[in-house]
Amino acid sequence: MRVLGRISYDGSKFSGFQRLNNGLGIQNELERVLSIIAKKKIKITGAGRTDAGVHALDQCIHFDLDINFSLDKLKYALNRLLKDGIKVNSLEKVKDDFNARYDVLEKTYEYRILLKEKNPFLVNYTSIIYQNLDILKMQEASKLFLGEHDFKNFVSGERLSYIAKIDRIDIKNIGKQLIITLKGKSFYRYMVRHIVGALLDVGLGKCDESKVKEALENPGKTINFSVAIPNGLYLKKIKY
């Protein structure tokens, strides 16, 4: 049977989601424990990769099992055996042709910024900005990213296509944190961190929204912005 798993993890304790030769990827740990339980090598497919330091509240995976084991017992066993920093939130049986990566309809990311306050307990879980931010300018600039664009100036690495569509960006000041939420189907390597970095550049007065507009309208011209650190980034929700 094919199983869809929804998991959460503390990205500061691993070297990213992808399977690594040094065994420090989240994928390594999930496959290690599943293989122990199944008594055979199990491989998983993730909805997407998160980089070192990036967290997940709702990462999704799929894998195949041919053992007679209830999913409730499997979830219990996984959470007992997995290293600290990973939790299996739910498991469900899905169709044999389900694919955790290719069947995604929408992903929601959240970026958390602690404003003007150092907190040793949040250093791995937020970005810290001590300067004043013009949030209204950031909100206005965020509208430029909505819809379908060529995001070449906001993606790291080479791809055949940089076209993606962003459905929604919200920027809200909640208590002492600024929360930036992005929703869309496809986000490429470092794309969220590039977009957040550009918005922070606008908020800090390093550039205005015209530079963002130019970067979106001229993907063949290299235009650089800051790249937000991974600590504050969370994969919040995946919709199928």
Residues acting as catalytic residues:
51
Q: Return d(Cα 96, Cα 150) in angstroms, integer.
A: 34
Contact 209, 195 (CB under 8 A): no
CB atoms within 10 A of CB 63: 19
Instruction: Report CA 55 to chain centroid distance, whole Å.
Output: 7
Instruction: Give yes or no for a contact between 153 and 164, defined as CB atoms under 8 angstroms apart.
Output: no
Q: Where are the beta strands (DSSP E) in the chain?
A: 2-9, 45-46, 55-64, 86-94, 106-115, 127-129, 147-150, 163-174, 177-184, 233-239
* Tokens, residue 144: 């430029």
Q: Give residues with Cβ within 8 angstroms of 40, minimum separation 6.
A: none
Tokens of 127: 């970005």
